[in-house]
Amino acid sequence: MTLPNAIPEESAEELYENAPCGYLSTLPDGTIVRANATFLSWTGHGRGEVLQRTFQEFLTVPGKIYYETHYAPLLAMQGFVREIAFDLVRKDGSRLPVLVNTAQRRDADGRHLLSRTTLFDATERHRYERELLQARRRAEEAVKIKDELIAMIGHDIRNPLASLVSGLRLLERQGLSPEQARYVELMKATTGYVTTLTGNILDMSRLEAGAMTIESAPFGLRDTLGAIVRGLEAQAFERGLRLSLRIDPAIPERLAGDRVKLGQVLVNLLGNALKFTERGGVELEALLTERRGALASVRFSVTDTGIGIASDRLAHVFEDYWQAGGEGGFARGGTGLGLAISRRLVELLGSRIEVASTPGQGSVFSFTLGLRVEDGQP
């Protein structure tokens, strides 16, 4: 690189005085013995008003505390400080946020003679950092409020709900008229719905907090799946839908895994499928895809003939509070948390839920779990 022939002249003194940052030389106690013109113009003070006063005098009261408790000790110990944020108080009382760097100048015996300080105008950076900080505070506050709400759901809603459910069970046995029985049925359905909803919210918060753990115990897959399907038969019957179960005969009788979480996911998927299917049916299938030693890979799939999901929305179905039909919101019941919870539970079980769908024809939700074979077969 070649320099231009005529470099504009500039003395070191000119550079010092008019550099785009403030320069100060101070004695060890902070007394200013030299200040450049930039510092003077920033603070609005004349040179005579600055020299022989201490740097601390140009700080706010809390700035003075910070100077004595952080800046001065750090400078004394390490010989320099970097990027300390202070507010300078101008002559008119207004404040200028600055970032301060200081290095000590020592004599041959290591004695601290002077400090050299540069000050950078940090107005913009300061504003930005304050915004970030406030955003963080608001986020922390929001998390706190959410945690309190979750705790409230856990205690103040679930407990009275439980007494409501048992009250309804007792009422049912009182020899009700058909009309009364219908009202009780309605109340049971509603309390059941609220119970599921609060359960989902609690599950979601436990999952988010990483407080959900995996249990592994032996169980019979056929019994488990049979019970799940039987539990949903009434719902399918009411909606005039076929509900079927297919289990690959090659699947070993006893497996080990987290039966409860598997059940939760399948109930969620089947419940969803029933909710979004108008005619036809829903099928749960378990297929042995691989058997290696004592490990069996079982693919679970829930297939429906429902409304389906458009391809551009397929990627979003596992997001929190998402529901088919978009703006329809809560019209079909549920919190929109079911799939999000299922996805996280399956991830916790070490797999992923996949979805394939054709609008108007139906959807398939599936995942494959590795389960330990318990029946002693090699």
Partner 1 sequence: MGVVERHHVRIAGQGEPAMLFAHGFGCDQNMWRFVAPAFEQDYRTVLFDHVGHGASDRSAFSRSRYSSLDGYARDVLDICHELGLRDAVFVGHSVSAMIGVLAAIREPALFSRLVLIGPSPRYTNDGDYVGGFEQRDIEELLDVLDDNYLGWSANMAPVIMGNAERPDLGRELTESFCRTDPDIARHFARVTFLSDNRADLPKVRTPALVLQCSNDVIAPLEVGSYVHRHMPGSKLAVMKATGHCPNLSAPEETIALMRAFLAGRGAAGGDDAA
Binding site for partner 1 (CB under 8 A): 28-30, 56, 60-66, 68-70, 72-74, 76-78, 82-87, 97, 126, 129-130, 133
Q: Which is nearer to partner 1, 15 or 143 (CB)?
A: 143
Who's near 290: CB < 8 A, 6+ residues apart? 296, 297
User: What is the smallest separation between the CB atom of 64 and partner 1, expressed in angstroms?
Assistant: 5
Q: Which is nearer to partner 1, 83 or 278 (CB)?
A: 83
Q: Which is nearer to partner 1, 82 or 105 (CB)?
A: 82
Distance CA 229, CA 241 (A): 13
User: What is the smallest separation between the CB atom of 89 and partner 1, expressed in angstroms?
Assistant: 12
User: What is the smallest separation between the CB atom of 98 and partner 1, expressed in angstroms?
Assistant: 11
Residue 217 host element (H or E): strand 217-220
Q: Which is nearer to partner 1, 85 or 267 (CB)?
A: 85
List alpha helices for the chain, DSSP H: 12-18, 37-43, 47-50, 61-66, 72-78, 123-152, 158-172, 178-208, 221-238, 259-275, 311-314, 338-348
User: What is the smallest separation between the CB atom of 208 and partner 1, expressed in angstroms?
Assistant: 21
Q: Which CA distances in Å does 289 have to 283, 296, 300, 323, 369? A: 18, 8, 10, 31, 10
SS3 318: coil
User: What is the smallest separation between the CB atom of 84 and partner 1, expressed in angstroms?
Assistant: 6
Q: Which is nearer to partner 1, 111 or 292 (CB)?
A: 111
Any idea what the Cα angle at residue 34 is, between residues 29 and 35, rounded to 5°? Answer: 110
Q: Which is nearer to partner 1, 45 or 64 (CB)?
A: 64
User: What is the smallest separation between the CB atom of 99 and partner 1, expressed in angstroms?
Assistant: 9
Phi, psi for residue 372 in degrees, rounded to 5: -80, 135
Task: Evaluate whether 304 touches 277 at the Cβ level (below 8 Å).
Answer: yes
Q: Which is nearer to partner 1, 72 or 302 (CB)?
A: 72
Distance CA 297, CA 368 (A): 6
Task: Evaluate whether 35 touches 52 at the Cβ level (below 8 Å).
Answer: no
Q: Which is nearer to partner 1, 73 or 326 (CB)?
A: 73
Specify the DSSP class assigned to residue 320.
T
| Closest by Cα among 338, 353, 250 to 301 | 353
Who's near 168: CB < 8 A, 6+ residues apart? 184, 187, 188, 191
Alpha-carbon dihedral of residues 119, 121, 124, 128, nearest 10 degrees?
10
Who's near 289: CB < 8 A, 6+ residues apart? 297, 298, 299, 368
Q: Which is nearer to partner 1, 54 or 235 (CB)?
A: 54
User: What is the smallest separation between the CB atom of 36 and partner 1, expressed in angstroms?
Assistant: 24
| Sign (positive or negative) of CA dihedral 337, 343, 344, 346 | positive
User: What is the smallest separation between the CB atom of 77 and partner 1, expressed in angstroms?
Assistant: 5
User: What is the smallest separation between the CB atom of 80 and partner 1, expressed in angstroms?
Assistant: 10
